[in-house]
Amino acid sequence: MAMESVLSQLGSIIAGLMFVWAIFRQYFPQDLRNHIEKYSQRLVNFVYPYIQIKFNEFTGERLKRSEAYLAIETYLSSNSSMQAKRFTADVVENRQSLALTMDDHEEVADVFEGVKLWWSSGKTTTKGPSFSFYPVTDEKRYYTLTFHKRQRELIIGPYLKHVLKEGKAINVKNRLRKLYTNSGSKWSHVVFEHPATFQTLAMEPEKKKEIIDDLVTFSNAEEFYAQIGRAWKRGYLLYGPPGTGKSTMIAAMANLLGYDLYDLELTAVKDNTELRKLLIETSSKSIIVIEDIDCSVDLTGQRKNKMEKEEKEEKDPVRKLAKEETESKNSKVTLSGLLNFIDGLWSACGGERIIVFTTNHVDKLDPALIRRGRMDKHIKLSYCSFEAFKVLAKNYLKLESHHLFAKISGLLEETEMTPADVAENLMPKTSPGNAETCLESLIGALEKAKEEAQIKAEEEEKRVVSLVPKEEKEQDIIANEQSRTKKLSTEEPEGQSSAKVAPAGA
Ligand SMILES: Nc1ncnc2c1ncn2[C@@H]1O[C@H](COP(=O)(O)OP(=O)(O)OP(=O)(O)O)[C@@H](O)[C@H]1O
Ligand SMILES: [Mg+2]
């Protein structure tokens, strides 16, 4: 504290001297003035070895709030606010929590690599024209950073970079994230408040960890991507049956990284030009999602061929016109348009984007679309394993173990049930819920699913047998007969065997 008071006293003495000099300098000849200014500056540097940097809240002609100011404000709120004695409190946008920021004319100290420095908050007030009916007062806030001139390089370089980076990161984490959807070529958004997290996602722990590590590594890899000359983006393909958690995982991804979500409805996009426009409008730190990619666009060329064939067959001119009209209303986004979207130049602007495709039928997708480099990571979401069930049991029933777990583990190995169905069975049916009842309900459902699967398998077998052509059946009978007689011939004496080996169909 002694340092701060000495600093402020020196500051006020020097400010006073400067003020006196500003008034009287005009009465001195130019040469003398230059000399006085030169030596007084040296004196100031000698007596006052500190440097000050001022960060104004508003910058530029358009009076935009300065990004640096906002980052510093957040940095100081989270790092040094405990030292300040007066705060300004405000509710964080649409949330229940309070944000505390240093009040005007407060001072806090910070230490970076063993070097001490000081931040103070200030405010200048200017009054509007006094003859106005409602005189307007204009307040301009700023932060001042003071440090010893010996530390100039450390503070102006690494320290300020650290403050801005940390402040921005906290701002990104705390901001309200948005869920954008497109109708045609326009994005509209709502606040994104999906509660899914990786913690609540039912999945094998190692697989989950691998995905989290991959995402976190990507989000911290700005310099690496610049160094290897690649746009800072990553593609994920999530595939698996319905109800295995693809959409839930996307929400968990957005919550983990604090990114916005762009849910792109491709069927509403008129053509490739519109697609490009939409994509250029997306911001960085975002996940662009195309759900059910196999249903969204003609990816294999098959649909086109089919339509061409139908068109040839259509003779009636009125019906042909109507058909053409409906076709023109359909999306004309093509596979090549989509490929351009993934690795086109647009993706380099702004960076930090994740692209996610989901599908229930990975085999239907064109290999060009999902090759590495476009969809870098392929994640299969599958039926509920015992490990995944344990996550659900912990989330839904607060159970880590139970004597019924062994039975459930066996049944899950024999039956395919999606996490969505397992979760539904674990939902409490009464209030307060009873964990054992839920587990029993799940066992009942698993046993039923197992029985149904068995019946289905038997029916399928019968159907396949009934489809086998008559000739093949006869050949099977001959083959069976031959192998039977051959077997007998090896067991019986040589003389008798030759009579029995005559082909049945001969
Ligand atoms: N792995 C999972 N972990 C936790 N909950 C899950 C999981 N999978 C499904 N669920 C639950 O089931 C519901 C449906 O899951 P979700 O919408 O993520 O499935 P999906 O794979 O996207 O299905 P679709 O292919 O039909 O879009 C979710 O609301 C969630 O509660
Ligand atoms: Mg889904």
Rounded Cα–Cα distance for residues 472 and 478 (Å): 10
| Per-residue tokens: 139 | 């307040």
CATH code for the domain of 361: 3.40.50.300
Note whether 204 and 238 are same-domain residues. yes
* Best of 204, 208, 244 for a ligand 1 pocket test (most atoms within 8 Å of beta carbon): 244
Give how many domains the chain has, as a whole number. Answer: 4
Please tell me the distance between residue 458's alpha carbon and the centre of ligand 1 in angstroms. 30
Note whether 358 and 427 are same-domain residues. no
pLDDT the model gives residue 303: 39
**Please, which residues have CB within 8 angstroms of residue 148's CB and are 6 or more apart in sequence?**
49, 50, 51, 115
Ligand at minimal distance from the CA of 289 is 2
Instruction: Name the residue with the closest Cα to ligand 1, atom 12.
Output: 420
Mean pLDDT along residues 301-327: 51
Note whether 95 and 58 are same-domain residues. yes
Note whether 269 and 344 are same-domain residues. yes
Please tell me the distance between residue 226's alpha carbon and the centre of ligand 2 in angstroms. 33
Residue 283 reports pLDDT greater than 60? yes
Within 6 Å (CB) of ligand 1, which residues are found?
201-203, 242-248, 360, 381, 419-420, 423
Residue 35, domain member (yes or no): no
What is the pLDDT of the chain when averaged over all its residues?
80
Residue 341, domain member (yes or no): yes
pLDDT the model gives residue 499: 36
Residue 39, domain member (yes or no): no
Mean pLDDT along residues 195-220: 95
Residue 459, domain member (yes or no): yes
Note whether 402 and 428 are same-domain residues. yes
Ligand at minimal distance from the CA of 203 is 1
* Best of 208, 247, 383 for a ligand 1 pocket test (most atoms within 8 Å of beta carbon): 247
Note whether 374 and 229 are same-domain residues. yes
Rounded Cα–Cα distance for residues 113 and 162 (Å): 11
Lowest mean pLDDT among 64-68, 359-363, 454-458: 64-68
* 200 Cα nearest atom in ligand 1: 4
Note whether 255 and 347 are same-domain residues. yes
Note whether 373 and 273 are same-domain residues. yes
Output 58 or 377, whichever has higher pLDDT.
377
The ipTM value here is: 0.98
pLDDT the model gives residue 498: 37
Residue (of 48, 54, 52, 53) closest to 123 by Cα position: 54
Please tell me the distance between residue 456's alpha carbon and the centre of ligand 1 in angstroms. 25
Cα distances from 420 to residues 203, 249, 267, 389, 425, in angstroms, run 12, 13, 27, 11, 9
Strands 98-102 vs 87-91: parallel, antiparallel or unpaired? antiparallel
* Triad 406, 410, 413: Cα angle to 5°: 140
pLDDT the model gives residue 263: 94
* Domain final position from 342, 360, 380: 380
pLDDT the model gives residue 21: 79
Query: What DSSP assignment string belongs to 64-76?
Result: EEPHHHHHHHHHH
Note whether 261 and 366 are same-domain residues. yes
Instruction: Name the residue with the closest Cα to ligand 1, atom 24.
Output: 242
406: left (phi over 0), alpha (psi -120 to 50) or beta: alpha
Residue 105 reports pLDDT greater than 50? yes
* Best of 197, 237, 248 for a ligand 1 pocket test (most atoms within 8 Å of beta carbon): 248
* 248 Cα nearest atom in ligand 1: 18
Mean pLDDT along residues 151-172: 90
Cα distances from 231 to residues 54, 145, 253, 335, 374, in angstroms, run 35, 36, 20, 21, 11
Residue 449, domain member (yes or no): yes
Note whether 143 and 223 are same-domain residues. no
* Domain final position from 128, 145, 174: 174
Lowest mean pLDDT among 73-82, 304-313, 359-368, 424-433: 304-313
Mean pLDDT along residues 274-282: 87
| Per-residue tokens: 462 | 């019968």
Provide the whole-model pTM. Answer: 0.67
For 383-415, the pLDDT digits (tens) are 999 999 999 999 999 999 999 999 999 999 999
Note whether 206 and 140 are same-domain residues. no
Mean pLDDT along residues 481-487: 67
Mean pLDDT along residues 8-21: 74
Q: Distance from CA of residue 303 to its chain's centroid?
A: 32
Asked if 134 and 87 touch (Cβ cutoff 8 Å), the reply is no
The fraction of the chain above a pLDDT of 70, given in percent, is 75
Residue 266, domain member (yes or no): yes
Residue 14, domain member (yes or no): no
* Domain final position from 345, 380, 415: 380
Residue 27 reports pLDDT greater than 90? no
Please tell me the distance between residue 422's alpha carbon and the centre of ligand 2 in angstroms. 16
Residue 405, domain member (yes or no): yes
pLDDT the model gives residue 299: 57
Note whether 102 and 190 are same-domain residues. no
* 291 Cα nearest atom in ligand 1: 27
Residue range(s) defining the domain that contains residue 438: 386-467
Q: Which helix (H) or strand (E) holds 173?
A: helix 160-174
